[in-house]
Each structure stands twice: as C-alpha cells, then as structure tokens.
Amino acid sequence: MTDSESFTPGRFLTLTDVADVLRLTAGEVLALVRSGELPAIRLGSIGQWRVEHLVLESFIADKYDESRRLALWNEAQFADVAELFADRRHGDVTA
C-alpha cells in the first residue's frame, strides 16, 4: 500500500493492514495479537488473523488513554503534597 492510495478499510483488516496503520511490522502486530493486547480472530482453513476495524480504533483510543494516565501519574509523582492539598488547608473547599 502506498501513501497515494486511498485506504478505506472494510470490517476486517489483515495483520499487514494493521501494521500499515500503526506503522509497525507485521511481526510486532502478531506479537500484540498473541499476547492478547490486540484482540483478533482466526479465519479460513489456514487460520489467517483478522482484526476488526472498530477493535483497532478502540485499541488506539485505549493507548491514548493509557498515555494520558501515565503522564498524569508521572506529573503527580513530582507534585508537592502541600501543593495538592493547599485548598483544603485554607478552607477554600466546601463539603
């Protein structure tokens, strides 16, 4: 698939298609599938893996959420405890 092609995914994507979307190798995508991190199904007599388009979109959204939570966690590790509870000490919070 080239960048000039217009890619309109069907319901199911091959691992190669998923690799193109995520800019990974097919082997890396297979590792995600085998670990259970990226849900996929096996179809056909030779058991080719397929990932549903909506599952891939959900996987990407989950990765964004995971990155956001990690950034917030890292930010909180550097916060001063007094800074976190400053409003409560001064009576600015209403119960």
Residue 85 lies in a domain: yes
Residue 3 lies in a domain: no
d(CA 40, CA 78): 39
Residue 5 lies in a domain: no
What CATH number does residue 44 fall under? 1.10.1660
Residue 55 lies in a domain: yes
SS3 (DSSP) at 46: coil
**For residue 27, what is the enclosing H or E element?**
helix 26-35
Q: Judge contact between 45 and 5, C-beta under 8 A.
A: no
Per-residue pLDDT of the chain (95 residues; tens, 9 = 90+): 455 455 566 799 999 999 999 999 999 999 999 999 999 999 999 999 999 999 999 999 999 999 998 888 777 766 665 555 666 555 555 55
Could you give the number of structural domains in the chain? 1
Cβ neighbours of residue 49 under 8 Å, at least 6 residues apart? 14, 15, 30, 33, 40, 41, 42
Range of the domain at 81: 12-89
Residue 4 lies in a domain: no
pTM: 0.68
